[in-house]
Amino acid sequence: MRMHNYIAIDIGAGSGRTIVGSLGNQLTLTETHRFVNGPVRLPGGLHWDVLRLWSEIKTGIGHSCAKFNRQLDSLGLDTWGVDFALLDRRGALLSNPFHYRDERTDGMLEEAFRRMPAAEIFAHTGNQFMQINTLYQLLAMSLQKSPLLDAAEKFVTIPDLFNYWLSGEITNEFTTATTTQCFDPRRRHWALPVLRAMEIPARLFGPVTESGTLIGTLLPQVAGETGAGGIPVVVPACHDTGSAVAAVPVLAGNRDFAWISSGTWSIIGAEVSAPHVDARPRECNFTNEGGVFGTWQLSKNVTGLWLVQECRREWARQSAALTYDEMTRLAAEAGPFVAVLDPDFEGFLHPCDMPSRIRQFCAETNQIVPQTKGQILRIILEGIALKYRQVLESLEGLTGKRLDPIHIIGGGTKNRLLNQMAADATRRTVVAGPVEATAIGNILMQAIALKHLGSLAEARGLVRTSFAPEVYEPQDAAGWDEAYSHLRKVMP
- The predicted pLDDT at position 488 comes to 86
In whole angstroms, give the CA distance from residue 458 to residue 460: 6
Indicate the average pLDDT of the chain.
96
In whole angstroms, give the CA distance from residue 174 to residue 220: 26
Phi, psi of 79 (to 5 degrees): -145, -175
Q: Which of 102-111, 347-356, 424-433, 473-482 is least confident?
A: 473-482
pTM exceeds 0.85, yes or no? yes
Domains, the chain, with CATH or none: 4-235 (3.30.420.40), 248-433+454-492 (3.30.420.40)
Largest separation between any pair of C-alpha atoms in the chain: 63
In whole angstroms, give the CA distance from residue 457 to residue 336: 41
- The predicted pLDDT at position 1 comes to 56
* Among 309, 285, 268, 308, CA closest to 422: 268
Answer whether residue 284 shows pLDDT above 70.
yes
- The predicted pLDDT at position 185 comes to 97
pLDDT tens, position by position, 148-195: 999 999 999 999 999 999 999 999 999 999 999 999 999 999 999 999
Residue by residue, DSSP assigns 130-192 as -TTSHHHHHHHHHHTT-HHHHH--EEEEHHHHHHHHHHS---EEHHHHTTSS-EETTTTEE-H
Answer whether residue 2 shows pLDDT above 90.
no
pLDDT tens, position by position, 246-272: 999 998 777 899 999 999 999 999 999
pLDDT tens, position by position, 349-370: 999 999 999 999 999 999 999 9
Phi, psi of 410 (to 5 degrees): 95, 180
Q: At what angle do helices 50-67 and 158-167 cross, to 10 degrees?
A: 50
Answer whether residue 41 shows pLDDT above 60.
yes
pLDDT class of 243 with cuts at 50, 70, 90:
very high
- The predicted pLDDT at position 218 comes to 98
- The predicted pLDDT at position 480 comes to 96
pLDDT class of 235 with cuts at 50, 70, 90:
very high
- The predicted pLDDT at position 252 comes to 77
First to last CA, the chain: 56
* Among 205, 81, 174, CA closest to 133: 81
* Residues annotated catalytic, as ranges: 240
